[in-house]
Amino acid sequence: MGGVARSELVAAVSAAGAFGFLGMVREPVARIRSEVEALRRRGFKRFGVNLIPAVTDRELLEAQVSSCIALHVPVIGLFWDIPFTLVRRLRDAGIIVACQVGTLAEARSVEHAGAHIIIAQGIEAGGHVRGECPLDELIPGIVGQTTLPVLAAGGLADGADLLTVLALGAQGAVFGTALIATEESFAHEYHKHRLVAAVSEDTVLTDAFHIHWPGGAKVRVLANSVTRGERGNPFGKTRIAIGADEGRPIYLFSTDSPLRSTTGDFEAMALYAGAGAGRINAVQAATAKIHAIAAQAAGLCASGVASGLERKEPASPAYSAHEMEDGDMGYATRDELLAALNELLEAERAGARVILRMTREAPQALKAIVVGLLRDEARWCGILTRTIHQLLGTPSGKTGTFYEKAMAISDMAERLALLYRGQGWIVRKLEGLLPRVRDDALHADLAAMLKSHRDNIELVALHSSEPV
């Protein structure tokens, strides 16, 4: 959120209990220093600074990095063609490094470089988009292949989105567009009100806004005269100034978004917006926005989802000492148990993804049902992931084929009927697995999972054509 996220916004979200990043892309050192000092004067010690090396002049980048180190900035966020040497330099200076990525390959690269945190950015994200993968596909793939904490970014707007990415395996969510439309953001009022008026279909992915960025970099913005092709060839040689910001010209097809300090033709500027823009209905205080997101997620978690999502320290595998004996006695060995748990995890993840889509499409009469199902899928995804870690296994990053089958069905009642059958499949798997589980605690968890899915079968059957 270069330019938009300054100390006023970071202070507001920090006061609400979130973690804010200063968007200092290509900003002079004096501004970085003044914004950091402004936060510290207000008593905030936990914050980050976002830098983008690929779009920053080398000398300026060196000055930015040196300044952040000298200021003892606690966290640095990096994005786009991240230099490994920079990651290591920041680590050596005692700074936590968060790297935003768009692919599994990139996630592996930054982990190898020494990143502390991975931010998985889906194609739904507003602003510059790194990958081509939807968030609900990207998160499980990365989570299953890393030991680092993974945060999810891209099109997130509310507490249901937060719950969903937790269900998919992320440890937290990153909100951008939702915080542009706040009183404290440094975005221009024109940009904020266009976001409030937007529907989800108003966002487009385009490479038309390219000045100041590497070639071919796509951005998600609100549709305007530029994205409709009404302003000419974006890649022509002539540069046309359409505005200014603090004495600096803003050109047509520039990546600059309109700020409070900007003047000019706002309609033709890059109005960054994620795919969740249609669920942003008002400009409000950032603290109120954070509290609303948290309250909605907490309400959905009322049945104990949060405890199921905790990742505890791995314990010694309960089955390893009795591996041979267990197999002889009919109990599942550790390897057999891990295979069964991962199969269940893939199925639960598929269910969570299907129900996520249904929460956005379902008629009002079905909202409470699908939200309740999403809550349960989130709970069991979390418990299965935790258990696999406790057994020193690696949670699968795959999503079950049920997802593709369900999303091929457009009729909501027919999709509910398929959900009914999917819940039945899990019941049968659990009924077969439970007699082979030796550990009492795991047996109790899986028995509770079985009961939950039996209850859901009865609930879904009431609203589908399937008999109980």
Q: How far apart are CA 234 and CA 226, in angstroms?
A: 8
Work out the pLDDT band at 315, boundaries 50, 70, 90. very low
- The range of the structural domain enclosing residue 269 comes to 1-300
How many whole angstroms separate alpha carbon 186 and alpha carbon 310?
A: 35
Identify which of 261, 269, 292 has the alpha carbon closest to the alpha carbon of residue 279.
Answer: 292
Q: Is residue 288 included in any domain, yes or no?
A: yes
Distances in whole angstroms, Cα of residue 88 to Cα of each of 299, 382, 418, 422, 423:
41, 32, 49, 46, 47
Whether 154 is in a domain gets the answer: yes
The model's confidence at residue 318, banded by pLDDT at 50, 70 and 90, is: very low
Contact 159, 359 (CB under 8 A): no
Same domain, 264 and 224: yes
Shared domain check, 136 and 90: yes
Report how far residue 156's alpha carbon sits from residue 285's, in angstroms, rounded to the nearest whole number: 18
Q: Model's pTM, two decimal places?
A: 0.76
Asked if residue 268 belongs to a domain, the reply is yes
Residue 439 one-letter amino acid: D
- The reply to whether 468 falls in a domain is no
In this prediction, residue 366 has a pLDDT band, given cuts at 50, 70 and 90, of: low
Q: Quick one: 318 and 430 in the same domain?
A: yes
Q: 221 pairs with which residues across the strands? A: 204, 272
- DSSP codes of every residue in 286-302: HHHHHHHHHHHHHHHTT
pLDDT > 80? residue 361: no
- Distance, CA of 35 to CA of 10 (rounded, Å): 10
- Verify that 408 and 372 share a domain, yes or no: yes
Model confidence band, residue 242 (pLDDT cutoffs 50, 70, 90):
very high
Tokens of 130: 């790194």
CATH number at residue 258: 3.20.20.70
Judgement on whether residues 242 and 260 belong to the same structural domain of the protein = yes
| Position 166 confidence tier, pLDDT thresholds 50, 70, 90 | confident
* Band of residue 317 on the pLDDT scale cut at 50, 70, 90: very low
Residue 298 is predicted with a pLDDT of 79
Instruction: With respect to residue 466, please indicate whether it lies within any of the assigned structural domains.
Output: no
> In this structure, what CATH number is given to the domain that contains residue 336?
1.20.1260.10
268 and 367 in one domain?
Answer: no
Lowest mean pLDDT among 54-68, 353-367, 414-428: 353-367
In eight-state DSSP terms, residue 434 is: G
Q: Are both 133 and 156 inside the same structural domain?
A: yes
Question: 21-23 and 48-51 as β-strands: parallel, antiparallel, unpaired?
Answer: parallel
| Choice among 46-50, 289-293, 303-307, 441-445 with the minimum mean pLDDT | 303-307
Residues 222 and 307 in one domain: no
Q: Is there a domain that residue 240 lies in?
A: yes
Residue 464 Cα distances to 142, 348, 353, 403, 415, angstroms: 35, 20, 19, 18, 9
Q: What is the DSSP string of 164-230?
A: HHHHTT-SEEE-SHHHHTBTTS-B-HHHHHHHHH--GGGEEEESS--BTS-TT-EEEEE--TTTTTT
Match 């954070």 to its residue by tokens.
290
Whether residue 442 is contained in a domain is answered as: yes
| Matching residue, tokens 């249609």 | 278
From 270, 300, 330, the end of a domain falls on 300
**Residue with tokens 């989570």, as numbered in its chain:** 143
Residue 241: its H or E element: strand 241-245
Across the beta sheet with 117-121, the strand order is 21-23, 48-51, 75-79, 96-101, 117-121, 150-153, 172-174
Inform me whether the pLDDT recorded for 233 exceeds 70. Answer: yes
Mean pLDDT on 245-251:
96
Q: State CA 409 to chain mean position distance.
A: 26
Instruction: For residues 169-192, give the mean pLDDT.
Output: 96
Return the pLDDT at 231.
96
Is there a contact between 452 and 380 (Cβ–Cβ < 8 Å)? yes
Q: How many Cα atoms occupy the beta-carbon half-sphere of 209 within 13 Å?
A: 28
Number of domains within the chain: 2
Same domain for 239 and 336: no
Q: How many helices (H) and strands (E) does the chain have?
A: 17, 13
**Residue 368 confidence (pLDDT) above 80:** no
Q: Which of 283, 300, 317 delimits the end of a domain?
A: 300
pLDDT score recorded for residue 351: 85
Higher pLDDT, 220 or 462: 220
Mean pLDDT of 410-414: 81
| Distance between CA atoms of residues 460 and 452, nearest Å | 12
Could you say which of 300, 330, 352 is where a domain stops? 300
pLDDT band, residue 392 (cuts 50/70/90): confident
Q: H or E element: which one contains 82? A: none
pLDDT at 74: 98
How much of the chain exceeds pLDDT 70, in percent?
89
Q: Quick one: pLDDT at residue 4? A: 97
How big is the CA angle at 410 (ends 409 and 414), to the nearest 5 degrees? 60
The arithmetic mean of pLDDT across residues 51-78, rounded, is 98
Residue 301 has pLDDT above 70, yes or no: no
Provide the percentage of residues in the chain whose pLDDT is more than 90: 63
User: Which amino acid, residue 395?
Assistant: P
In a domain, 93, yes or no: yes
DSSP tag of 19: -
Write the pLDDT tens digit of every residue in 266-295: 999 999 999 999 999 999 999 999 999 998
**Same domain as 317, residue 285:** no
Average pLDDT score, the chain:
88
395 and 262 within one domain: no
Do residue 322 and residue 393 come from a single domain? yes
